Amino acid sequence: MATNEPGSTRTTAAAVSRRRFLFLVGGALNVVAATLLAIPVIGYVFSSFRRNVASQSWIMLGALENFPENQTRLATYRNPYTRPWDGTTSNIPCWVRRLTGEKFQVFAINCTHLGCPVRWFEESHLFMCPCHGGAYYDDGSQASGPPPRGLYEYEYKIEQAKLWVRGGQLPTLSEPL
Amino acid sequence: MLRNIALWIDERLHVSKLFESTAGHTVPASAGSWFYVFGSGTLMCFVIQILTGICLAFVYVPSANEAYTSLEYLNFQQPLGWYLRALHFWGSNFMVTIMAIHLTQVFLFGAFKYPRELTWISGCILLLLTLGMAFTGQIMRFDQDAYWGLGIGAAIMGRAPIIGPNLVHLVLGGPIIAGETLSRFFTLHVFVIPGLLIALISLHLRLVLAKGINEYPVPGQEVKKETYAEEYEALLKKEGVPFYPKAIDKDLIFSGLVMLGILVCAAYFGPKGPRGIPNPTYIDTVPAPDFFFLWIYAALALLPPYMETFLLLTAPVVGIALLFALPFLSNTGEKSARRRPMAVLGVILIALILGTLTHLGTYSPWSPHMEAWSSDPTPVQYVHGRSPLELQGALVLQNKQCRNCHSLGGEGGLRGPALDGVATRLTRDQLIRQVIQGGGNMPAFGKNLAPQEVTALVAFMQTLRPANVPAARDSTVKQ
């Protein structure tokens, strides 16, 4: 710390401590500013964690007469949480099984194993998955293959002679419909 | 005149000094080997990926609504668009492949040992980042495979306890696969991961310069922490050569061949996809991942269900942790593969596992053939000379979609056993039981078959045996 310049050690020490002070102020300033910057950035990136908008809502699937009794039919709907640039990705399919009268079962298209689209086979009354060979019975229960549970089922209601389901999110094992 | 300009610039930028200390650094003469060309080969692929990637970004629209159309535009309208797409696709195949070879070579040559632990770890991160590029790149090809590939990724993450739902929302950018999902993966593929790759490559090369390239291992020459630095120094003094111009020749030849390989493959095979509009309501699709992820796809079908979630969540963590820990688990000692039989065995084992799973992934025998029942004919010899009841049974077998999982005459699904010769394995009673109750991965058909259909079906199946082999018989019944 000793300098060759003339002058007492007191002024040198004072200069060093002033430099040290400015360094600390500068550092602290940057830490504060960086924190202030980080808050909106983190809030923006992780905004999906804030569920102020419920990801499920009621969707109309169509008139009851579109779904004959004892049959299983593919129905499609526009996902309620859509953005103008979503394109065809927001057209979501589901399987509607009408038992009798107002008794329905509405299944998500996604296999419970890893989410591939299951297909209905009227003749053998089975849903089959093209990815890893999962199969389900007509009531959605697991028939064979790797699926850990039966098909995801939508909550449904009938209003004004129309079938409604509660949907909007991708069903997963930890967050089924 | 030109020379003076060059000298003027060099005096200010110190280019030649930089060149001397990097490209001109001393390497052991033994490192000028054909085994040492894969690192630079991978780097060459990366350069091609950056170049072609920037070109594609001129035209590609990262919007869920437009991406597919812009890919079609690239394929068919944009002059040479198809070729740039093909170069980018084949560049990625070459990069992953050569990187895997590089990793294997480094492992077998013991190059991860003291003092090059960090070189190995940075290389492992580069491997993960490159696979991240491969996966996100697959999503950029925004078609049905991309859509359902995202679905599979979400389903895996959705299995995580507690954080599962939030993780899914974070990665998809919302509650479902849509516009924001593509934007998110575009950002990863174009900004985040390439940035990290460039930073890590710099670190990787810096470490190669700082700790030197691994000498060609000699059996019996063990790495000891106390003496290695001196020995390496002595080796460089004795037989060290500058990388440029004395040891770069084979790297240059290999890089050139790699580049030509990508050019030729791209010209001959063309680009991949896009395969089908990403409209989830088109459910007649058979999603499959790109080549380098087929083994994961196969493993997911073959894992026993009871351990699946556990393995899905822990195996990647354990695998990556082991990869990172390798230089500390085996820090010193023999480098030569000739003295490390377990290492060689490990490489062979992993190669066999990955090879077998990838091969299975190419034809996925676990998946039902969705169209087999309506498109694969019943072999003529199985209907020839059959009774009306048996013929009715043949119809039941076809119409009830048994063929989707069971093959006849080599055609049909491979999910269940082939039915040719089934009468030699199961008696009439066993056939009835199996059809009605299912079991052993077969669904029960009891509710969907009328008794007369079962009778006909079983009557037909009892005829399915070679003429010279007796039918299965019940050992509890006296003949």
Alpha carbon of B454: minimum distance to chain A alpha carbons (Å): 13
At residue B477, the pLDDT reads: 78
Q: Sign (positive/negative) of CA torsion A88, A89, A95, A96?
A: negative
Q: Does residue B50 have a pLDDT over 60? A: yes
Q: How many inter-chain contacts (A to B, CB under 8 Å) are there?
A: 198
Residue pair B65/B26 in contact (Cβ under 8 Å)? The answer is no
Q: Is A72 on the interface with B (CB under 8 A)?
A: no
Structural domain contains residue B215: yes
Are residue B376 and residue B355 in the same domain, yes or no? no
What's this model's pTM, rounded to 2 decimal places?
A: 0.91
Which chain A residues contact residue B284 at CB under 8 A? Answer: 119
CA B166 to chain centre: 27
Are residue B280 and residue B173 in the same domain, yes or no? yes
Are residue B383 and residue B331 in the same domain, yes or no? no
* ipTM of the complex, rounded to two decimals: 0.88
Q: Where are the domains of chain A?
A: 9-48, 57-167
Pairing of strands A142-144, A135-137: antiparallel
* Rounded distance between C-alpha atoms, residue B324 and residue B363, angstroms: 33
Nearest CB among B152, B180, B447 relative to A115 is that of B152
Q: Which of B180, B184, B367, B396 to mutate to probe the A interface, most A CBs <10 Å? A: B367
Nearest CB among A89, A130, A137 relative to B147 is that of A89
Give the residue-averaged pLDDT of A113-129: 93
Structural domain contains residue B471: no
Alpha carbon of A43: minimum distance to chain B alpha carbons (Å): 12
Chain segment B335-369, per-residue pLDDT in tens: 999 999 999 999 999 999 999 999 999 999 999 99
Residue that finishes a domain, picked among B312, B346, B363? B363
Are residue B376 and residue B341 in the same domain, yes or no? no
Structural domain contains residue B42: yes
Provide the CATH number for the domain around residue B306.
Answer: 1.20.810.10
CB contact under 8 A, B367 and A133: yes
Are residue B203 and residue B341 in the same domain, yes or no? yes
Structural domain contains residue B474: no
Q: What angle do CA B395, B396, B398 make, to 5 degrees?
A: 65
Give the residue-averaged pLDDT of B237-246: 91
Provide the CATH number for the domain around residue B406.
Answer: 1.10.760.10
| CATH classification number, A57-167, choose in 3.30.379.10, 2.102.10.10, 3.20.20.70, 2.30.40.10 | 2.102.10.10
Are residue B328 and residue B376 in the same domain, yes or no? no
* Rounded distance between C-alpha atoms, residue B338 and residue A57, angstroms: 65
Instruction: Report which DSSP code applies to B215.
Output: P
Are residue B258 and residue B172 in the same domain, yes or no? yes
Are residue B343 and residue B383 in the same domain, yes or no? no
Q: Which band of pLDDT confidence, cut at 50, 70 and 90, is reported for residue A92?
A: very high
Chain segment A16-59, per-residue pLDDT in tens: 788 899 999 999 999 999 999 999 999 998 887 776 566 789 99
Structural domain span for residue B434: 372-461
Residue that finishes a domain, picked among B318, B335, B363? B363
Q: How many domains does chain B have?
A: 2
Alpha carbon of A110: minimum distance to chain B alpha carbons (Å): 8
Q: Which of B162, B169, B171, B457 to mutate to probe the A interface, most A CBs <10 Å? A: B169
Q: Does residue B200 have a pLDDT over 60? A: yes
At residue B467, the pLDDT reads: 86
Q: For A74, which residue in chain B has the nearest alpha carbon? A: B281
Query: How many other C-beta atoms are found inside a 10 Å radius of the C-beta of residue A64?
Result: 17
CB contact under 8 A, B283 and A90: no
Instruction: Report which DSSP code applies to B36.
Output: G
Chain segment B299-312, per-residue pLDDT in tens: 988 988 888 889 99
Q: Which band of pLDDT confidence, cut at 50, 70 and 90, is reported for residue B446?
A: confident
Nearest CB among A88, A147, A174 relative to B164 is that of A174
DSSP run (H or E) holding A167:
strand A162-167
Q: Taking Cα atoms as reference points, which of A133, A167, A160 lies closest to residue A147?
A: A133
Chain segment A1-14, per-residue pLDDT in tens: 444 555 555 566 66
Alpha carbon of A121: minimum distance to chain B alpha carbons (Å): 8
Are residue B348 and residue B411 in the same domain, yes or no? no
Residue that finishes a domain, picked among B363, B391, B419? B363
